[in-house]
């Protein structure tokens, strides 16, 4: 996953890749246009019947490049464009920072989750976030990456960003996966991640984008900048 910016005679293009799929935004004059390109649709799923059995049971199956899945690809691309624009819109907001930060800097409760064998797990209390700490700010930066607007993020995606080297053993891989699971639970309890139903992927909701951008911008602002804003 990576991003780059290119300037053309007509305007500027900002593009983000996740595997072979990408989302970009182009500025031409007074027009700002987002565009999602799905080169590898198998990264996505669609509710459809098995190929060759159009009247069979519908399940979430990998998206195909064929014509029957074009409506699914169009819907996924449109949803990604809308999430990207919502994230951009959160850059300009007059909400006081304390109103955004105070709930995140207090402990929260992760709702009970249903068990596979029936029943529910007990609600779990999670710690407060500290956006100025190196650990939590790195986590917030990772989940807010624009590449994840296309199809959300998974445990393995966060692990690749938060750990500098690949795991040396299977035991280390499982330990890292468990650590990332706890971080995802933390973010979900604070309303900064939503689970995509029937998948192992997560998306940052619009209010979550607003909070993360505000906290990271404040972290990186100079004392002079903050003093001028407070004056």
Q: Which of the listed residues 57, 89, 121 is the one where a domain comes to its end?
A: 89
Q: Which of the listed residues 73, 89, 105 is the one where a domain comes to its end?
A: 89
Name the residue among 65, 10, 5, 15 with its Cα closest to residue 36: 15
The answer on 101 and 147 residing in a single domain is yes
Q: What pLDDT does 159 receive?
A: 95
The answer on 116 and 77 residing in a single domain is no
Q: Which of the listed residues 66, 89, 112 is the one where a domain comes to its end?
A: 89
* Local confidence band at 62 (pLDDT 50, 70, 90 cut-offs): confident
> Which residue is it, tokens 């402990």?
107
The answer on 112 and 208 residing in a single domain is yes
Tens digit of pLDDT for each residue in 106-136? 999 887 666 665 666 778 899 999 988 999 9
The answer on 141 and 58 residing in a single domain is no
How many domains, in total, are found in the chain? 2
The answer on 219 and 111 residing in a single domain is yes
The answer on 101 and 188 residing in a single domain is yes
The answer on 124 and 213 residing in a single domain is yes
Q: What pLDDT does 86 receive?
A: 81
The answer on 131 and 36 residing in a single domain is no
The answer on 223 and 126 residing in a single domain is yes
Cα angle: 41, vertex 203, 197; to 5 degrees: 75
Q: What pLDDT does 53 receive?
A: 82
User: Structure pTM?
Assistant: 0.73
Q: What is the rounded average pLDDT of the residues 34-53?
A: 85
The domain in which residue 206 lies consists of: 97-230
Tens digit of pLDDT for each residue in 70-91? 888 898 899 888 888 887 776 6
Q: What pLDDT does 207 receive?
A: 87
The answer on 208 and 140 residing in a single domain is yes
């Amino acid at each position: 996953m990576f991003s780059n910016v290119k300037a053309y005679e007509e305007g500027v293009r900002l593009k983000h890749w996740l595997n072979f799929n990408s989302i970009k935004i182009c500025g031409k004059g007074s027009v700002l246009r987002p565009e999602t390109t799905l080169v590898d649709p198998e990264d996505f799923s669609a509710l459809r019947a098995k190929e060759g059995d159009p009247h069979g049971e519908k399940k979430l199956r990998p998206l195909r490049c064929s014509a029957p899945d074009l409506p699914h690809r169009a819907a996924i691309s449109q949803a990604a464009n809308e999430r990207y624009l919502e994230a951009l819109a959160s850059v300009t907001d007059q909400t006081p920072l304390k109103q955004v930060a105070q709930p995140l800097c207090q402990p929260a409760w992760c709702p009970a989750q249903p068990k596979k064998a029936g029943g529910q797990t007990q609600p779990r209390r999670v710690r407060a976030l500290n956006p100025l700490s190196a650990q939590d700010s790195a986590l917030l930066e990772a989940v807010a990456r624009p590449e994840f607007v296309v199809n959300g993020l998974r445990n393995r995606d966060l692990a690749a960003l938060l750990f500098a080297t690949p795991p040396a053993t299977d035991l280390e891989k499982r330990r890292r996966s468990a650590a990332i699971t706890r971080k995802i639970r933390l973010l979900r309890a604070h309303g900064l991640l939503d689970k995509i139903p029937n998948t192992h992927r997560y998306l940052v909701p619009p209010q979550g984008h607003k909070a993360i951008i505000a906290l990271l911008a404040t972290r990186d602002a100079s004392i002079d900048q903050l003093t001028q804003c407070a004056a």
